[in-house]
Chain A
Amino acid sequence: DAMVIQNPRYQVTQFGKPVTLSCSQTLNHNVMYWYQQKSSQAPKLLFHYYDKDFNNEADTPDNFQSRRPNTSFCFLDIRSPGLGDAAMYLCATSSPSGGVQEKLFFGSGTQLSVL
């Protein structure tokens, strides 16, 4: 039944070692988002795709990249993780319709630890 699926649930990486988090969706939504949520803080938008169009937030570090090979999948690549990148990473989707169903569907998140 899960509609937005994130793998893995928990990820441990080493300082400076590249890591990839994955997200897939069964909703066929146009838009996919990546949020970073540090402990006891609000989720912070890193970037989003509207179909194949990539939209980076101005303050997202260059260390974070994303790929969307098709409608269903989106990846978050962290090129050189630092200790400050330890966080929960949330993927979300939406299908803008201009109507009242403007809402985001979130996955369960990937908790990233950096050692």
Chain B
Amino acid sequence: GEDVEQSLFLSVREGDSSVINCTYTDSSSTYLYWYKQEPGAGLQLLTYIFSNMDMKQDQRLTVLLNKKDKHLSLRIADTQTGDSAIYFCAERTAGNKLTFGGGTRVLVKP
């Protein structure tokens, strides 16, 4: 079955790095994604990683994938107040469906 889990909340000081973790259960996942949702808004795709990769860097964002442990993380370097939002990880599995985690609320303190 498909199940994606994330911690609920992360607090970080401005300028520090944030690390958001996610675990998933479906080993047939093809792509894994990180989405950002600001209050009252839709989901914005931040980055994604193909399942045969173990790392992807995109400016301040670093995605690490441990396929053996089914663990995905998103590191945000030099976190800014504008990074305060809810972050969802999601996996794409057979049937072209996206299954989302419950979201991690990130609060950046000045």
- Which of A's residues lie within 8 Å of B, judged by CB? 4, 6, 31, 40-45, 48, 50, 90, 92, 94, 96, 100, 102-109, 111
B103–A108 CB distance below 8 A: no
Separation of A94 and B43 alpha carbons in the complex (Å): 14
Separation of A48 and B98 alpha carbons in the complex (Å): 11
In the complex where A43-B43, A90-B43 touch, is A102 in contact with B102 (Cβ < 8 A)? no
In the complex where A40-B103, A41-B102, A111-B40 touch, is A105 in contact with B45 (Cβ < 8 A)? yes
Separation of A43 and B31 alpha carbons in the complex (Å): 17
A108–B31 CB distance below 8 A: no
**Binary interface encoding of chain B residues 72-110 relative to chain A, with 1 for a CB under 8 A from any of its CBs, else 0:** 000000000000000010001000111111110000000
- A-B contacts at CB below 8 angstroms, number: 54
**Binary interface encoding of chain B residues 15-47 relative to chain A, with 1 for a CB under 8 A from any of its CBs, else 0:** 000000000000000110101000011111100
A111 CB contacts on chain B under 8 angstroms: 40
What are 14 pairs between A and B in contact, CB < 8 Å? A4-B42, A6-B42, A42-B102, A43-B100, A44-B100, A48-B97, A90-B43, A92-B43, A94-B96, A103-B45, A104-B43, A104-B98, A107-B42, A109-B41
B100–A100 CB distance below 8 A: no
Separation of A94 and B33 alpha carbons in the complex (Å): 14
In the complex where A31-B96, A41-B102, A42-B101 touch, is A103 in contact with B33 (Cβ < 8 A)? yes
Contact of B48 among A92, A103, A105, A109 (CB under 8 A): A103
In the complex where A45-B97, A102-B31 touch, is A90 in contact with B42 (Cβ < 8 A)? yes
A6 CB contacts on chain B under 8 angstroms: 42
Closest B residue by C-beta to A101? B48
B43 CB contacts on chain A under 8 angstroms: 43, 90, 92, 104, 106
